[in-house]
Structure 1
Amino acid sequence: MKQHNTIEIDKLLNLADKYFEKSEYDSSYYYFNKAKSACDTTTDVSKIIYSISNLATIQQNLGDYSGSETTAMEAMPILQRTSNPKYKWNIYTILGINYLNTNNAKYALFYFNKALNLKTDESRKIGSTNNIALVYIENEDYYKAIKILSTLKLNEEVRNDWETYSDIINNLGYCYSKIGSTKAIVYLNKSLNINLKKKNDWGLISSYYNLASFHTKNNLALSNNYAKIAYKKATKLKSVDSRLGCLKLLIQNTSGDELKKYSLTYLNINDSITKVRQKAKNQFAKIKYDFKKEKDENIKLKIQQANQQKQQVHRDQFVYFALVILILLSVIIANYLAAKNKREKIKASYNTETRISKKLHDELANDVYQTMAFAETQDLSTTQNKEILISSLDTIYTRTRNISRENSNIDTGLAFISHLKDMMSGFNTQMVNVLINGVDTIKWTALENHKKIIVYRVVQELLVNMKKHSKCSLVVLTFKKNENKLQIDYTDNGVGIGNSELISKNGLLNVENRIHAVKGTITFDTKSNKGFRVSLDFPI
């Protein structure tokens, strides 16, 4: 459970709202996401839903409808904890608009109806009803849309709100134009006059566009004039989608040099907005990734601190116990402690290395950053760039899986030999062939557990070193019992290494330390450009 901090959450939400009102969406998104992370899902229900709603709205405003849908869905389980219908209305409406903008009329209608059926105020019901009409318009079911809009325009609250009324009769005029009704021009002109009187530029863009669309069949010059006015106002208000819509009409209605001019403008704007939206999408993904990374690192740090405290308690208890036993049985315990201390050091080294190895996940940060940079700067609509992006993501996934496997616990029981074989076989690729000899001739059940761990880790580190540095195509691992010793020989046909100083730099120092810890010997063949050979043995 998160520590409750109402003052801090309210401060973050106020900052997020401030940036949202100024359309500084990247900063707004950052603070809404931070506020959401600070909220407790059981005590801060309204604030977490408010944060999610705004995060989804920001993504929606910038054309990331898929991302907006994913974000909005995060609120679904939390909505069950509130009885206030306005929160559900907000989420359902956001989802409906996302589906409407992605040509999924079925789901758009589903969520708009869910919003309409909630016990909310009249203004929200009007909004939901109008949204349902827009679905039918998008689906070219103009008669159903006309039926809904005709009822809405008679609503007293609608008639008292000039902006809503103008919008509804404008949509109604558009529908009538699509079915060839003479009523179309009446409603379109009436909406235009209201917007002109109120100096409502946003409403004027829609009015002029619908009039331009209406006159394409009967007055091409007037149609183009209206389209140009709508385009000019859309440019002033930086409404990219409206500009593109107007340009489409002008492209349809013109020819020659004008057609070429409008077509080039359309392509330039479309390319520009695609890049802007992709950049925003990547920016939001990075914000979420950074928060998740910071959260994961904090959790790891707390776990490590807790483990260290437990280990310290255990060490203190062991010392007290050892002192008491030492007084009573000093001679017997002396030998026991010597052997046990050696095993404990090896085990402690293994446990410490396992914990530290988890941090290797941070190595992925560079790959992730490069992949995000690629996605931000390249056009992902091309097949080649999509394939490059998918390949990069696959590499990140593979590296994550390999790090997990390299640092997983080792089964030293009956399954040890099969796990050892699987690990070695896992380094087989189309480019590298790993051959294993004699592994089944060793009586592994007679080998002590900590020595099995050393065998596993030594072989693993040799193969990891091969993968990073060797550039070989063939690896041969040979296991054999030589009198009372286990001998392992490693050979590859790679580039080799130049001198013994490179052994530590190539990550082979751990191999030496492990073998020396069990009183073994190790020999490296360091001739460069003639492959790489290692021979090691230790008592069994």
Structure 2
Amino acid sequence: MNSCQKEEKLISKSTVNKDYDKFYSTADTYMSNQQFDSAFYYYNKAKSVCDESKNFDQILSSLLRMAYIQQIEGDYASSETTATEAIFFFQKDTDPAYKCSTYNILGINYENTYDYESAISHYNRALKLTEIEFDKTVLKNNIAVVHIAKEEYQKAITILLPLSLDKNVFSNANHYARVLDNLGYCYFKTDNPKALDYINQALAIRKREGNTYGLATSYLHLSELYQNTNQKLATTYAQLAYKTATKNKSVDNRTTALALLIKNTQGIESRKFSLLHLNLSDSINKVRQKAKNQFAKIRYDSKIEKAENIYLKTQKIKDALQIEKQKNKNLILYFLIGIAVLFSSFIFYYLTDKNKRQLIKNSYITEIRIAKKLHDELANDVYQTMAFAETQDLSLNKNKEVLLTNLDIIYSRTRNISRENSSIETGISFVQNLKEMLSGYNSSSVNILINGIDTVPWSHIDQTKKITVFRCIQELLVNMKKHSKCTLVVLTFNIIENKIQIDYSDNGVGASLDQLNLKNGLLNVENRILAIKGTITFDLKSNKGFKTTINFPI
């Protein structure tokens, strides 16, 4: 689904320095061998030797490769961050191919984190930038795939049908097969009898071209197509999909194939596929989380190393001036003035650098916190489901339904964690999204009341402050859900002397100062509020639940 590949040809690596050439070439070698962690490390090294004031194309090339690696390893949130960083290096004369690639990568990330509107928006931005007709057809197919994910099959058909007749599509066999397969799947979902013919055409092309990745997709669609009419054939195609996906190491297609096999088989066979599905899901989570932590550590270590190198250079300058002082005693007055200026600059740099280190550290801590959340909230469910599959008779329909329900719960929790850490809309939909987030914590046992949210002039508030408000309230509600044991939460928004005040209170068990210090979520809230020059206070005197007040300037 990638597009705008012209960017790979734009770099003249010798225009930077020999180190860049060496690091980038080493990264390409690791990339071709699918050693993605090593490739990521050397692309980052190549970026680090660039001059950020002039080597824009070289930095963009490294960042886009890094974002692509994070994407294929399933780390969509970090890939989004890296691709967004690339946007800051866009110039007026930046080749459109770089911009097209950046927006395409962001579109894929949003698609895989279920933010479909953002995905379509970024694919359209890429579409406006590319001048290559073939790339335009790939991006249009990407947009159609998002509509399929949204179950808007008729919209997808209006895009795919003209593409199936486009000479630019027809000239590339694998792309033509992809369009035909997507169109056939849409016809299947809309009960159009043309479905089987289109999917089979795509299958034949993929067999001829040796496109094993595409073959797995064709087999999955055929299995789904026959599921209600010919269960035996549906099972055969699901087995072919699983075998093909295993061969080409496509873990997502393997899990989809196993889910179809669970539905289409009985007894021992169904149990076998259920255990394979659980083990594979657990393995995928571990591998992807390990890769995510590794990428985060590489970026973190690189920034610390760069900061330390700058510090050492500053120290060498200071030492050189000290030697000069001994050689030029007659110029002591001027030298002292120079030292004073240098010392002031050093102090300013040191404080700025210290703040940057803290921001980097906070980012790293946040990623580790997400990893812990995945472990705490998913691991127990996975192992309980595995135990159920091993001990129960899956030939019984009720046990089979329980197993599928448990698998669906695990999938839903994974998706919710992804959504909790996805991007936040700060435009006209901000208030609506904030209300929807708050309503998500309402339940039969907890009632959330909101006062004054519509009186706040959100359109005049900085984007960073909106994101901070959203995340802080989210952290407070997560803390409430884990620790409070309350039945009522009240959130009140007020404007006091050009400041926004947010009062949170619940009727739960409350918290002591020691308990507050142990809760990383509340520490994150405090750090976020301080970063926007706000204040946060906790009411520890009251024995009537947990209370906190947040203030920050409009």
* TM category, shorter: 0.5 to 0.7
1:42 and 1:103 map into 2 onto residues whose CA distance is 36
Q: In structure 1, what is the Cα distance between the partners aligned to 2:366 and 2:300?
A: 11
| Cα deviation digits, residues 8-59 of structure 1 (max 9, x gap) | 2122211111111111101110111011111223432222111111000000
8 Å Cα contact 1:4-1:40 kept in structure 2: no
Name 1:127's counterpart in structure 2.
138
Cα 1:180–1:291 shift into 2, 3 Å: same
Determine helix, strand or coil for the equivalent of 1:180. coil
**Which residues in structure 2 correspond to 1:218-237 (within 5 Å)?**
218-237=229-248
Task: Say which is worse superposed, 63-72 or 114-123, in terms of deviation.
Answer: 114-123
Change (3 A) 1:226 1:358: closer
Equivalent residue for 2:24, pick from 13, 33, 41: 13
Where in structure 2 are the equivalents of 1:70-219 lying within 5 Å? Answer: 70-219=81-230
Which residue of 1 is the match for residue 35 of structure 2? 24
Alignment of 1:390-409 (within 5 A): none
Of 255, 259, 275, which residue of structure 1 is paired with 2:270?
259
Look up the equivalent residue of 2:299 and give its one-letter code.
K
- Alignment check: 8 A CA contact 1:158 1:164 kept: yes
Q: Equivalent residue for 2:291?
A: 280
Amino acid at match of 2:159: I
What amino acid does structure 2 have at the position aligned with 1:260?
R
What amino acid sits opposite 1:197 in the alignment?
R
**Residue identity in the other structure for 1:222:** L
Contact 2:325 2:332 in 1 (8 A): no
Show the 5 A alignment for 1:367-378.
none
* Matched residue, 2:502: none
TM-score between the two structures when normalised by the length of structure 2: 0.59
Amino acid at match of 2:276: T
User: Which of 375, 394, 398 pairs up with 1:381?
Assistant: 375
Matches of 1:129 and 1:377, distance apart in 2: 35
What are the superposed Cα offsets for residues 177-227 of structure 1, whole Å, 9 maximum, x if unpaired? 111111111101111122222332112111111000111111111001100
CA contact (8 A) 1:93 1:111 kept: yes
Matches within 5 A, 1:347-358: none
Q: Which amino acid aligns with 2:282?
A: D
CA shift at 1:359, angstroms? 12
In the alignment, the residues of structure 2 paired with residue 321 and residue 215 of structure 1 have an alpha-carbon distance, to the nearest angstrom, of 91
Q: 1:75 to 1:219 in 2, by over 3 A?
A: same
Partner of 1:34: 45
Per-residue deviation, residues 459-486 of structure 1 (Å, max 9, x unmatched) = xxxxxxxxxxxxxxxxxxxxxxxxxxxx
**Secondary structure in 2 matching 1:70:** helix
CA contact (8 A) 2:16 2:55 kept: no
Work out the CA distance in 1 between the residues paired with 2:354 and 2:122: 44
CA drift of 1:379 comes to: 7.4
State the secondary structure of the residue aligned to 1:181.
coil
**Residue type at the aligned position of 2:78:** G
Structure 2 CA distance for partners of 1:222 and 1:289, relative to 1, 3 Å = same
CA drift of 1:174 comes to 0.6
Equivalent pairs, count: 359
Shift in alpha-carbon separation, 1:353–1:169, aligned structure 2, 3 A: closer
Q: Does 1:51 align with 2:62?
A: yes
Is 1:301 matched up with 2:301? no
- Given the alignment of the two structures, is residue 249 of structure 1 paired with residue 256 of structure 2, yes or no? no
Q: Which has the larger radius of gyration?
A: 1
Q: Could you tell me how far apart the structure 2 residues matched to 1:294 and 1:372 are? A: 20
RMSD in angstroms over aligned alpha carbons?
3.7
- Confirm whether residue 69 of structure 1 aligns to residue 69 of structure 2: no
TM alignment of 1:500-515, pairs within 5 A: none
Q: Is the 8 A contact 1:282 1:376 kept in 2?
A: no
Unaligned segments of structure 1, at least 5 residues: 323-351, 387-428, 432-540
| Separation (CA, whole Å) in 1 of partners of 2:166 and 2:269 | 44
CA distance in structure 2 between the aligned counterparts of 1:149 and 1:61, rounded to whole angstroms: 25
Deviations 1:316-340 (A, max 9, x none): 6668869xxxxxxxxxxxxxxxxxx
Determine helix, strand or coil for the equivalent of 1:78: coil
State the SS of the aligned residue for 1:74: helix
**Percent same amino acid among aligned pairs?**
41
TM-score for the superposition, normalised by structure 1: 0.60
Look up the equivalent residue of 1:174 and give its one-letter code: Y
CA distance 1:31–1:354, shift in 2 (3 Å): closer
Aligned to 1:334: none
Partners of 1:109 and 1:135 within 8 A in 2: yes
Per-residue deviation, 1:371? 7.6
Match of residue 480 from structure 2: none
Partners of 1:117 and 1:354 in 2: CA distance: 44
Q: Letter of the aligned partner of 1:34 in structure 2?
A: K
Shift of 1:135: 0.9
| Alignment partners' CA distance in 2, 1:194 and 1:13 | 36
Alpha-carbon distance in structure 1 between the residues aligned to 2:147 and 2:26 = 38
Distance apart, 1:80 and its partner CA: 2.5
What are the Cα deviations for residues 101-134 of structure 1, in whole angstroms up to 9, with x where unaligned? 0000110000000111114211111111111111
Q: Relative to structure 1, is the Cα distance of residues 196 and 5 closer, same or farther in structure 2, using a 3 angstrom cutoff?
A: closer
Contact conserved, 1:45 with 1:81, CA < 8 A, in 2? no
Secondary structure in structure 2 of the residue aligned to 1:127: helix
